Amino acid sequence: MSQAQNKYIPIYAVVFSVIVKCLFFLTHHIQEDAFITWRVAQNLMDYGVIGFNGDTKISASTTHLYVFVSYIFNLIFGKANFIIPILTFNTILFSVGSLLLSHLLFQNNWHKALFIILFGILPPAIKISILGMEYGILFFLEMALLYYGFKKQQKWAFILFPILILFTRVDTVIFLGIVFLVDLFWNRKLRWEYILGGILGVAVCVSFNWFYFGEWVNNTIVAKKLAYDNAFTLQQNIEYFILNYGNFWGMLKVPSDFNPITILIIIFELVCFIYLVKQKEKRNYFLWIIFLFGWVKQIVFLSQKSLFDWYYWVPQILLFVPVIVFVITQKTRRNFWLASLVIFYIVPMLAFQTVHSIATGNGEWNYRRSIGLFLNQYEKDKNQWILLEPAGYVPYFSGLKTIDEVGLVDKKIQEEIKKDKSSIWINTIEKRHPKYLLANKDLFEGKNGEFYRSKYTLLKEFRIKDHLKSENPLLEKIYRLKPSGTDYNLYVRIN
């Protein structure tokens, strides 16, 4: 079959990849922070303000573009029905992005199709697609920039995509910077259109923050830096790296300091990359871009103690691209390499992600969402406040105004963090008197127990063990194999 005859094969692979990942919707595995973005979008609907609590402006979401996309989906489908449509949208965008990436790496359409399928069912690809975060949009925009800008040489792409990319996440300056440097060293010339696009992207993002929120960078960045700031010694930094590197360079989290699987994967990725770039192929230009970006992004974020695993999804999967390309392009023993990759890595990783999504979906959708639903029914006055951490499922499904201890959705608590990080709960309660407290410990025990007992009473206990049951015996085994969730106590203020 000629290339012209099988030109639709990659499209069929995209459709297949989307269908496979849509099956994961059944697990209800949705990231906590997605509900922050969606509540900001709904706050814009209800109050005409980008915020979290009524008419108070705050950049509570890490992404501006995705807030507006979520706003549109809420308008079209309604608050009760938009989640599956927007998850499908994210999944389609990621899969189209993988199609564009395949065009950068392969000439043969069968190779493209195989790449799209293998690439699309790896754990980071599944999480990017289905967890409700902005990375499906971001991956599509980044691959569209490489394809339409640097492959097709479309000048409009150099202007448009950097603006959209930076308006999605400001930390994408790392990606745009790596692309600029590789292109400069590769082609020995400046692309003024691309430079203009980058300048406009920064200007649009910073100007929007300043003129709308009165701040230069998103509140989320300020809040996390303030709440998680740690001054480490050199020895502590080394210990920290050893403890965490395996969780971010690899594709699965292993509860141990030493992760030999990750070391093997890193070595194999490097070997495959070196093997490929030694060949005189046009794809080397793009391999250098995605591989250098993957390493730089990982190192920068790990050095800043960024423990949230979604920061690493895109780098994780891009670093694995040379492995897939190496296997697919083998002229001898390709079937052996392909079978080995699928049997010993792809299938186990897919199985791991399936178990992880089922267990995590239970712990978050079935369990943590139930706390929000209980509060929604119990408290009819949605102007009442709750102090808790984190600010995802419970605020979204309860509808209550929220103070989170990090300060992502409420700036006032940041002042308490600056004054005395160890006493932010007590100081916030003294000043603001929230009606509800949701804590992952017994507040009546310990040195401040008398303070809490004098102002609050225990309303309800929520225990993860009560949600490790299912009529399906296989699901129950998975729930108990990998219990996901935290025990909580819900307190109400004494009138």
Segment 226-263, tens digit of pLDDT: 767 666 677 777 776 666 665 666 666 655 555 677 78
Please name which of 170, 157, 144 lies closest in space to residue 196, comparing C-alpha atoms.
Answer: 157
Give the number of other Cβ atoms within 10 Å of residue 76's Cβ: 11
d(CA 51, CA 56): 6
Residue 298: the pLDDT is 87
Residue 243: the pLDDT is 65
Segment 290-302, tens digit of pLDDT: 999 999 998 888 8
What amino acid occupies position 298?
Q
Radius of gyration of the chain (CA): 24
Cis-peptide, bond into residue 390, ω within 30° of zero? yes
Cβ-Cβ contacts under 8 Å for 64 (sequence gap 6 or more):
167, 168, 205, 208, 218
The length of the chain in residues reads 495
- Cβ distance 290 to 315 under 8 Å? no
User: Helix/strand/coil (H, E, C) string of 318-377?
Assistant: HHCHHHHHHHHCCCCCHHHHHHHHHHHHHHHHHHHHHHHHHHHHHHHHHHHHHHHHHHHH
Q: Which residues of 3-28 are buried (b: 16+ CB within 10 A; e: fewer)?
A: eeeeeebbeebbebbbebbbebbebb
d(CA 190, CA 349): 41
Give the number of other Cβ atoms within 10 Å of residue 133's Cβ: 23
Please give the average per-residue pLDDT across 125-142, as a whole number. Answer: 96
Segment 40-92, tens digit of pLDDT: 999 999 999 999 999 999 998 889 999 999 999 999 999 999 999 999 999 99
pTM: 0.93
Strand arrangement of the beta sheet that strand 401-404 belongs to: 401-404, 385-388, 436-439, 488-493, 456-462
